[in-house]
């Protein structure tokens, strides 16, 4: 297992997530959990959804196996790039001229006036989708060369651009702050594209793209494109359950009290930190190696990596899950409770965060096991499993939001995570899962969790006496 690459990728993601938390701290101070913060989060939700879908593996896991198998890599890559880019540019132009329908789709529970006020920000933010596709495409080529640092750290540029906007405008009225953030999103996206172009040049990958453009009319790449098409839609659906679930939660939250969209956003940001730096970083690094191993018939080597990665994720995510649940109030207090973010808003965010953290371990392990489905081109199986998870999550959301509000939406997402893990493990092979857990490490993990939980409980009690 490539521990050095995993830790390098994790460190880069950590830097990005730390700057993201810094951004959210300033945003909470400037806007609180108000109608204007809700409006910005709704406007940013769709491009942010696609950012997570593309950047966190869905596009890569459809593109990478096809790219590895391709006999004409440059032609294949160029064909896929321009097809997607032209579609996204056309779609973005449509949203620019007609932003209200898509805004209404994102916020069913809002009245006409709120939709009208939010629509211009939706149009601005949507162009980030085009930029992040370019970033993700270039990042996939870099992953093929087993270079992960540029992509891992590049999200920090988006956060830095937004922090700069907040720093300059946070004393202005909320409307000005929200619009400044929207334009900062585009500036951050442009910066991400630029650093990836520099890395592509450094690894001489621009020659593949230039060659692909030169020979783009080559006919025998048609079958390869058809194969990619058969993997892409199932790959997007199968790999994006947490993102799609959170997206649906945002829509449902618009029917709840003001601030609910913001509670979900702030809590999900904390939840995403350990998920990204542990599970997503590990999966990103392992995927090219697993794909190549399975293609070359080295199945034992691939499952050896699975065993090592499983225990790394189980210990780290298990500790993060317990820490996140028991220390939720000190975490939210430390990060957000200042300026216009009140004590009451902290309490609401805490309950949402605790419900999200319940699903941290299952989502992380499902991410790991799903690598073997995508590497072996079983994208349709992964998509069917995702549908089971989404149906469970949506059904639970509609029930639990009636009694628990925003925290019920978060808990429903976690329930969907357990369903996702169960069916993913079943498809990869129950016998392989049992072979992994029939180990002394299982006993060590149980003892570790008991001791760690007691320590976190005592730490939480001590911290609450200091801050309240």
Q: How many CB atoms lie under 10 A from the CB of residue 147? A: 20
Where does residue 54 rank: exposed (0-12), middle (13-18), buried (19+ CB within 10 A)? buried
Asked whether the predicted pLDDT for residue 98 surpasses 80, the reply is yes
Q: What is the pLDDT of residue 457?
A: 94
The dihedral of CA 218, 87, 182, 132: what is its sign?
negative
Tracing tokens 């994208």 back to the chain, one arrives at 379
Domain span including residue 87: 3-467
What CA–CA distance (Å, rounded) separates 165 from 290? 41
Q: Where residue 357 falls among pLDDT bands split at 50, 70, 90? A: very high
Mean pLDDT across the chain: 83
What CA–CA distance (Å, rounded) separates 336 from 307? 38
What CA–CA distance (Å, rounded) separates 192 from 132? 8
Q: Domain tally for the chain?
A: 1
* pTM for this prediction: 0.72
| pLDDT tens digit sequence for 193-244 | 999 999 998 888 877 776 555 555 555 556 666 666 666 767 666 666 667 7
| pLDDT tens digit sequence for 408-467 | 999 999 999 999 999 999 998 888 888 888 888 999 999 999 999 999 999 999 998 887
The dihedral of CA 430, 433, 439, 441: what is its sign?
negative
Asked whether the predicted pLDDT for residue 352 surpasses 60, the reply is yes
Asked whether the predicted pLDDT for residue 14 surpasses 70, the reply is yes
Q: Of 75-79, 246-250, 380-384, which has the strongest mean pLDDT? A: 380-384
């Amino acid at each position: 297992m490539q521990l050095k690459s995993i830790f390098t990728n994790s460190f880069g993601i950590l830097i990005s997530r730390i700057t993201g938390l810094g951004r959210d701290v300033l945003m909470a101070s400037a806007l609180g959990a108000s109608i204007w913060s809700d409006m910005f989060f709704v406007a940013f939700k769709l491009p942010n959804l696609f950012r997570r879908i593309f950047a966190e593996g869905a596009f890569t896991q459809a593109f990478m196996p096809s790219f590895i198998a391709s006999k004409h890599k440059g032609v294949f890559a160029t064909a896929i790039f321009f097809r997607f880019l032209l579609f996204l540019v056309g779609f973005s132009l449509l949203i620019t001229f007609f932003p209200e329908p898509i805004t209404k789709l994102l916020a069913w529970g809002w009245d006409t006036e709120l939709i009208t006020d939010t629509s211009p920000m939706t149009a601005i933010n949507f162009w980030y989708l085009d930029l992040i596709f370019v970033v993700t495409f270039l990042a996939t080529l870099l992953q093929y060369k087993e270079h992960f640092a540029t992509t891992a750290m590049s999200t920090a540029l988006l956060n830095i651009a937004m922090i700069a906007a907040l720093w300059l405008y946070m004393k202005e009225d909320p409307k000005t702050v929200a619009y400044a953030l929207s334009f900062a999103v585009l500036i951050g996206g442009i910066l991400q594209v630029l650093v990836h172009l520099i890395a592509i040049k450094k690894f001489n990958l621009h020659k593949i793209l230039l060659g692909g453009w030169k020979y783009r009319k080559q006919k025998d790449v048609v079958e390869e494109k058809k194969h990619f098409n058969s993997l892409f839609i199932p790959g997007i659906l199968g790999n994006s359950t947490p993102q799609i679930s959170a997206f649906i939660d945002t829509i449902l939250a618009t029917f709840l009290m003001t601030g609910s969209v913001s509670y979900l956003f702030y809590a999900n940001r904390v939840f995403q930190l350990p998920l990204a730096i542990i599970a997503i970083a590990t999966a990103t690094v392992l995927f090219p190696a697993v794909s190549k191993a399975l293609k070359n018939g080295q199945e034992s080597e691939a499952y050896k990596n699975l065993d090592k990665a499983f225990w790394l994720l189980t210990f780290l995510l298990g500790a993060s899950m317990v820490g996140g649940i028991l220390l939720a109030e000190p975490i939210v207090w430390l990060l957000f409770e200042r300026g216009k973010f009140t004590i009451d808003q902290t309490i609401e965010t805490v309950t949402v965060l605790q419900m999200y953290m319940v699903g941290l371990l299952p989502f992380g392990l499902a991410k790991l096991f799903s690598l073997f489905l995508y590497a072996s081109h079983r994208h349709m199986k992964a998509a069917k499993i995702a549908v089971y998870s989404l149906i469970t999550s949506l059904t639970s959301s509609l029930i639990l939001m009636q009694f628990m509000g925003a925290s019920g939406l978060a808990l429903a997402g976690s329930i969907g995570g357990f369903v996702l893990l169960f069916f993913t493990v079943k498809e990869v092979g129950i016998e392989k899962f049992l072979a992994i857990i029939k180990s002394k490490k299982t006993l060590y993990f149980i003892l570790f969790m008991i001791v760690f939980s007691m320590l976190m409980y005592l730490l939480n009690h001590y911290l609450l006496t200091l801050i309240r």
